Amino acid sequence: DSGVTQTPKHLITATGQRVTLRCSPRSGDLSVYWYQQSLDQGLQFLIQYYNGEERAKGNILERFSAQQFPDLHSELNLSSLELGDSALYFCASSPRQGESAEAFFGQGTRLTVV
């Protein structure tokens, strides 16, 4: 168990809908990273937050947004969902601002858009 908790584990929703994925980082970790994993694209970095502030942005669509709350948990919001958004979404956390290599991954949320 990595100590990173993601909910829900599975999510099935219809096109056009909006969903929220939640991540609780390991105790004491200030950085949270979100990744998307699909069969054709592999694991893609979406966005990073450090202590409540956005620190880095990757291949995140405008329909997607994220935030990190004062208690350090993070939420990834996906809106106007399309079939192609079906993927595994991982959250990872690390204790420091920039050392992403030391990040610990959660178990992921499997999103299926039908």
Partner 1 sequence: QKEVEQDPGPLSVPEGAIVSLNCTYSNSAFQYFMWYRQYSRKGPELLMYTYSSGNKEDGRFTAQVDKSSKYISLFIRDSQPSDSATYLCAMNRGSNYKLTFGKGTLLTVNP
Least spacing, CB of residue 29 vs partner 1, in Å: 14
- Nearer to partner 1 by Cβ, of 78 and 90: the residue is 90
> Cis omega before residue 8 (within 30°)?
yes
- Nearer to partner 1 by Cβ, of 53 and 102: the residue is 102
Using CB under 8 A as the criterion, which residues of the chain lie in contact with partner 1 when the complex forms? Answer: 2, 4, 41-45, 48, 56, 58, 90, 92, 96-108
Least spacing, CB of residue 52 vs partner 1, in Å: 18
Tokens standing for 37?
């994993």
Least spacing, CB of residue 55 vs partner 1, in Å: 9
Tell me the CB-side half-sphere exposure of residue 77, using CA atoms within 13 A: 8
Nearest to 14 by CA among 86, 63, 65: 86
> What are 54's strand-pairing partners?
49
